[in-house]
A = this chain, B = another copy of it.
Amino acid sequence: MQARRARALIARIPALNAERLEALVAAADGDVEGVPDPRAWRGVDLPPAARTFLATPDESAVALDLAWLETSGATILLCTDREYPPLLRQISGAPAALYVLGSVESLASAQLAMVGSRHATPAGCSTARDFAAWFARAGLTVTSGLAEGIDAASHAGALAAGGLTVAVCGSGLDRVYPAGHAALAARIRAHGALLSEFPPRTPPLRQHFPRRNRIISGLSLGTLVVEAARRSGSLITARLAADAGREVFAIPGSIHSPLARGCHQLIKQGAKLVEEAADVISELKISFPKEPLTTSRSEPARAGALDKEYEMLLDALDFAPTTIDGLVARTHLPTESVASMLLILELEGRVAALPGGRYGRMP
């Protein structure tokens, strides 16, 4: 059997996942072309639907798929291929096969998922565009779902910055959904990739989108939710990311905005609050090692910038005891901050109040 035909047939096996395809390929002595041979698959534990298809494959569908692969230039990526994205392979129920239009290499790049509401506000879309451009310039590929709203803005932002972007579709790649995003899809194909686990001619059914979402989060080091209502698909994407041990980020908003509710819910559940794109990068830096990434937060109350200011203040006191105004002049910190920090240092016994309103460092 021809290799191209074997791959097209494998990609159509129902109820297949990465583990089952690996078992099939192993049973075929590592040869993908041997998988459709009954001598290979008969001994493998498979769901009935998969066995039925392998016994009597839908040859006309496979023939149509082969014709489409030929004319479109799409490729099929199997989980046993070297180029299959390693992060995606780690998730539970990883897809056995992906249809790809564009650069297969882009799927192995470091990706950040950006998701959010299809009914995003103009401000939310602008934030998504700006953040995506920033991530692209920082060398991250922006991965999303080609939908209206936050998805489209995220792809567009990465493209505008000259970066890579990956769109995961909930339909076959022969039909762009939504249809109005055909031009955007063409640009994504040229600067990244379009991919789907659904064979050509599959319509964009609602139940496909959660499956698509697990691929978006599975490909990515982390998932950033920009604007999302409660009970929205973006929260499920975020949860799949957390379940897969990936970072979850969310952008807060007004408590009066329904599209901030989903993000606030995520933050309450442990997602990292993100005010600027750099917040994401600094977390991901910690996360590049391969251990399961935590979503818990154990940062002590006194950290980072505050500590530095305390050091400045203590250094300024090393010079000689002085008043609050003297410390303000020495440190250029606001008066209220200096007074506050002195109180805390005094309570901790590290600074003493001296006559004349002066403060001195304790030995």
Contact = CB atoms under 8 A, between A and B. Distances in A.
Interface string A270-284: 101111100000000
Contacts of A334: 231
Contacts of A300: 269
A182 interface: no
Contact of A343 (B127, B210, B346): B210
Contact of A236 (B264, B268, B340): B340
Interface in A294-332: 295-303, 306, 324
B301 A233 contact: no
B243 A343 contact: no
Nearest to A248: B301
Q: Taking each of A267, A273, A300, which has the highest tally of chain B beta carbons within 10 Å of its own beta carbon?
A: A273
A253 to B, nearest CB: 6
A251 interface: yes
A211 interface: yes
A243 B301 contact: yes
Nearest to A260: B252
A161 interface: no
Given A232-B336, A252-B255, A337-B231, A347 B93 contact: yes
**Copy number in this complex?**
2
A164 B123 CA distance: 40
Contact of A207 (B298, B324, B347): B324
Nearest to A309: B231
Interface string A341-354: 11110110000010
B255 A254 contact: no
A270 B233 contact: no
B254 A299 contact: no
A307 to B, nearest CB: 12
A316 to B, nearest CB: 16
Most buried by B among A207, A213, A233, A296: A207
A343 B236 CA distance: 10
A347 B239 contact: no
Interface string A71-106: 000000000000000000000110000000000000
30 contacts: A15-B353, A93-B347, A123-B254, A123-B256, A127-B255, A206-B335, A209-B339, A209-B340, A210-B340, A210-B342, A211-B343, A231-B333, A231-B334, A233-B336, A233-B340, A236-B344, A239-B301, A239-B306, A239-B344, A243-B344, A252-B254, A252-B260, A252-B264, A253-B253, A255-B274, A261-B275, A264-B273, A269-B300, A270-B297, A295-B301
